[in-house]
Amino acid sequence: MEHVVYVVGHKNPDTDSVCSAIAFAYLWNKWKEGGNVAKMMKIEAEAKPVIQGDVNPETKYVLEKFGFEVPEIMTNGEGKKVALVDHSEKAQTVDGIDKAEVVAIVDHHKIGDVTTPQPILFVNLPVGCTATVIKLLFDKTGVEIPKDIAGILLSSILSDTVIFKSATTTELDKEVAEELAKIAGIDDLTKFGVEIKAKLSAVDDLTAMDIIKRDYKDFDMSGKKVGVGQIELVDLSLIESRIDEIYEAMKKMKEEGGYAGIFLMLTDIMKEGTELLVVTDYPEVVEKAFGKKLEGKSVWLDGVMSRKKQVVPPLEKAFAEL
């Protein structure tokens, strides 16, 4: 077996997944030099961060800003030592995981189905971001956080918690972010968060279909085919001039795909609400689901940020009651 531990985040890497891999690899290599962690496990292999797929524009921006290279892509872990960050589910991890040696897991999600034949370090905390857990691991094992690592950890927290607006955000994420901001020399967290999030809000180079499909899922709602997409924006004005074009693309998609309805969430992360763009044969579901009548192409839903929690369940109920 090679003398390298590949530190890897989940498939379709986001900023937390990539930056946590870089930061944990750094921390692991510090642990290797001695201290309490070396008192409980032999750390012989050097850690190296890798990713399972291309980085998105936000992550690319963050890595460039703090002077990191984009890690190499590794999709198969067979015969390798791996440390998993930001996931503990087989479906989310590298191929060949059953023939890899998992040496550590650091995460903030539900507990997944990866098991090990030997005791390992596994730290999962119910916080908003893996970077928060990694910051605590630096502190609790007495390793100093360099300025550039603080920068990417902070970026991860702002990204993963949608600048502290996501329901998964905890007090601890906020405290840790403040501490990291001091180390990284960043004064205005909200401004910096918007700067990061704006990278995924850049829609000028995207086609209407790219925008619809950014984060899109098909559902079967009481026998009807329904599509729900979402794009998160720091400001809805960024997309205003494209609405008609997107609406026409949705209409075409609905006809060609035999949909009962297509719903596109244009989510304003700063205003904390969603402009729901709708093409459907059943416009009455909008009022049933959200208590607001659809007039024209869209309806503003105040406080609605989550497709999974706030849009799909009421839509399913409304279609069931048709």
Q: Which residues are annotated as a binding site?
A: 10, 14, 16, 86, 108, 160
**Could you tell me which stretch among 167-175, 206-214, 223-231, 295-303 binds a second copy (CB under 8 A)?**
167-175
- Binding track over 110-149 against a second copy, x by CB under 8 A: xxxxxxxxxxxxxxxxxx------------x---------
CA distance 59 to 19: 8
User: How many residues lie near a second copy (CB under 8 A)?
Assistant: 33
CA distance 244 to 270: 23
**Could you tell me which stretch among 2-10, 166-174, 235-243, 271-279 binds a second copy (CB under 8 A)?**
166-174
- Binding track over 25-64 against a second copy, x by CB under 8 A: -----------x--xxx-----------------------
CA distance 39 to 36: 5
- Amino acid identity, position 71: P
State how beta strands 46-51 and 72-73 pair.
parallel
CA distance 271 to 43: 47
- Binding track over 77-116 against a second copy, x by CB under 8 A: -------------------------x--x--xxxxxxxxx
- Lookup: tokens for 181: 């901001």
Q: How far is the CB of 239 from a second copy (least distance, A)?
A: 32
Minimum CB distance to a second copy smaller for 40 or for 322: 40
- From residue 63, alpha-carbon distances to 109, 290, 295 in Å are 24, 40, 43
- Binding track over 168-207 against a second copy, x by CB under 8 A: x-xxxx-x--------------------------------
Annotated binding residues for Mn(2+), written as ranges, equal: 10, 14, 16, 86, 108, 160
Minimum CB distance to a second copy smaller for 133 or for 289: 133
- Lookup: tokens for 175: 């405290």
CA distance 5 to 82: 5
Residue of 13, 73, 12 lying closest to 48 (CA atoms): 73
State how beta strands 4-8 and 46-51 pair.
parallel
Minimum CB distance to a second copy smaller for 104 or for 250: 104
Residue of 252, 260, 256, 250 lying closest to 224 (CA atoms): 260
- From residue 147, alpha-carbon distances to 66, 97, 137, 138 in Å are 9, 33, 16, 13
Q: How far is the CB of 8 from a second copy (least distance, A)?
A: 17
Minimum CB distance to a second copy smaller for 123 or for 209: 123
Q: How far is the CB of 190 from a second copy (least distance, A)?
A: 20
* Whether the Cβ atoms of residue 220 and residue 254 lie closer than 8 Å to each other: no
- Contacts to a second copy by CB under 8 A: 36, 39-41, 102, 105, 108-127, 140, 168, 170-173, 175
